Amino acid sequence: MMQILPGTITDVLVYGQYTGSITACTVTGSTGPFTYAWDDGSQEADRYGLREGLYGLTVTDMVTLEEAEHTYNVTQNDPISVETPGTVTDAAFRIASGSIGPPVVIGGDGAYTYKWRDWLAHYEPTRADLRPGEYVLIINDTVGSATVLHTYAVGEYEPLAISIAGAISHVSVKGDATGKIGPSVFSGGSSDYSAAWGDDSSAVTSECDALVAGDYTLTVTDGCGSTPQNHVFHVGENARVTIKRGGVVSPSLGEAKGSIGVAMIEGGNGFFTYAWDDNVAITSASRTALDEGVYTVFISDTDGAEPCEHEYTVSKHYPIVVTPGEVQPSIGLGADNGIIFPSTVSGDSGAFQFLWDDRSDPSPTTFRSELPYGHYTLTVSDVEDIDNYAEVQYTVKQYKKPPPKRPAHRLRLPGF
């Protein structure tokens, strides 16, 4: 039986060209001579200058007229193309940090060469340290396929920034570790942000808690190499609760009449709490109805600051008692020769101040002379406690002439 042995097929290396060939085909099962008939009209045994396609061959024995057929498939390489462009990483703001990754190229003979329009001596399909701009990759192969150009656009990120700094919660009680820094908001850069706090490599988020008072530096970076951005947070703390000025103490005038006024307090959170040593149920800032004694107040704040204490001493004073002196009238119309004789004063500390309503300055004594007709008020106060005082009113009368004297009683002796 007559058969065709295919021989050698040379495929087309460059897409669209006529470089294929079919050679060295032989016939078995017959001795010939033979004729060759191709379906495209050629009558040659070997074929050259072929393009991609199917070629049918019929060989006929000229003696026996027996025939054999065979179809040849001449293939060709696909044109070079970029199936998947390399990954582009934009550059950081004003930094040459952009990059282009390797592309997936198909077609041609598979052995590709690369160069770049802006850097012809660079023969790799990847680039690094790029500034913003367009970069053209030139692709060829070893058999002369059509050159392929692929353009990449490298952009530039906005400047990396800490656009909103985290909210700070200060330490409420001095010395405690209760401070907190809330999450910050970042912007710009490549958005794959990383946060770090000073030398603490374990803190990798933009928030921190359990902080003592002090300064804390947040550093944010990104994946494209932007300039790191820092922000310093100051975590403060409330000052210790202290008494700047104690409350005014009023002595006890008799039984349970003393008082302690409101003190001026500094530090803490400004919302203060009070506890008194003589009665823990009393939480007011001031006291009234106090007996003579020593009273201690402990002051903290609503955050539980370390208390401070202040001691008050309530003394016991006695009411001032004034026994008015006699009054001598003024004699004569328009005269000013009235007299108020000294009063007797007792009580409290024994050191008194005298103030008459017709004088602006205190008087050293309760005695008055050269007085015209009128009403006079004497206020006697304790020099150690001006709130302890007593008032006495006098009236100096006026006569045209001295009042008559009472007749003297005669002593009658027996027998006279």
Residue 409 lies in a domain: no
Q: Return the percentage of the chain with pLDDT > 90, whole number.
A: 84
Do 87 and 69 belong to one domain? no
pLDDT of 383 reads: 84
Is the pLDDT confidence value at 17 over 60? yes
pTM above threshold 0.75: no
Residue 406 lies in a domain: no
What pLDDT sits at residue 416? 44
Q: Mark whether 334 and 308 lie in a shared domain.
A: no
- Same-domain check for residues 310 and 353: no
**Domain check: are 177 and 224 in the same one?**
yes
What pLDDT shows up at residue 315? 83
Strand partners, 23: 8
DSSP letter for each residue of 94-141: TS--EEE---EEESTTS-EEEEETTBTT--SS-EEEEPSEEEEEEEEE
Q: Quick check: is 411 in a domain? A: no
Q: Say if residue 12 is in the same domain as residue 54.
A: yes
In a domain, 144, yes or no: yes
Domain match, 59 and 86 both: no
Which phi and psi (to 5°) does residue 226 adopt?
-60, 155
Q: To which H or E segment does residue 195 belong?
A: strand 194-197
CA 174, distance to chain mean position in Å, is: 20
Q: Read off the CATH number of the domain in which 269 is found.
A: 2.60.40.1080
Predicted local confidence at residue 257, as pLDDT? 82
Domain end call among 211, 235, 259: 235
- Cβ density class 17-54: b for 16+ within 10 Å, e for less: bebbbbeebebeebeeebebebeeeeeebebeebebee
Please give the backbone phi and psi of residue 227, each rounded to the nearest 5 degrees, phi first: -60, 125
Residue 195 has pLDDT above 60, yes or no: yes
**What is the mean pLDDT of the segment spanning 23-27?**
94
> Is residue 405 assigned to a domain?
no
Q: Do 192 and 248 have their domain in common?
A: no
Final residue before a domain boundary, out of 212, 235, 258: 235
Q: Domain of 183?
A: 161-235
Residue at 270 is within a domain: yes
Q: Is the dihedral of CA 360, 366, 368, 373 positive or negative?
A: positive
Q: How far apart (Å, rounded) are the C-alpha atoms in residues 123 and 137? A: 10
Same domain, 128 and 191: no
The pLDDT of residue 409: 52
Question: Is residue 132 located within the same domain as residue 197?
Answer: no
Residue 407 lies in a domain: no
- pLDDT of 405 reads 66
DSSP letter string over 16-54? T---EEEE--EEES----EEEEETTS---SSEEEE-SEE
Tell me, what CATH number does 167's domain have? 2.60.40
Number of separate domains in the chain:
5
C-beta separation of 56 from 190 below 8 A: no
For the chain, how far is it from start to end, CA to CA, in angstroms? 210
Res 318: pLDDT: 79
pLDDT score recorded for residue 415:
53
Q: How many beta carbons lie within 10 A of that of residue 64, not counting itself?
A: 11
Mean pLDDT of 6-26: 96
12 vs 381 pLDDT, higher one: 12
Between 413 and 38, the more confident residue is 38
Pick from 227, 237, 406, 255: nearest CA to 319:
255
Cβ atoms within 10 Å, residue 293:
13
Q: Are residues 14 and 69 in the same domain?
A: yes
Residues 119 and 139 both lie in one domain: yes
Distance CA 207, CA 164 (A): 12
7: in domain: yes
Round to whole Å and give the CA distance between 284 and 38.
Answer: 119
Q: Which of 196, 235, 228, 194 is nearest to 214 (CA)?
A: 235
The residue out of 104, 123, 154 marking a domain boundary is 154
User: What is the spatial distance between Cα 408 and Cα 248, in angstroms, rounded to a whole number?
Assistant: 60
- Which pLDDT belongs to residue 15? 97
Per-residue pLDDT at 414 exceeds 90: no
What pLDDT sits at residue 202?
Answer: 75
Instruction: Name which of 129-143, 261-275, 385-399 the model is least confident about.
Output: 385-399
Residue pair 116/122 in contact (Cβ under 8 Å)? The answer is yes
- Other beta carbons within 10 angstroms of residue 79's beta carbon come to 14
**Do 267 and 299 belong to one domain?**
yes
- Identify the pLDDT of residue 317: 76
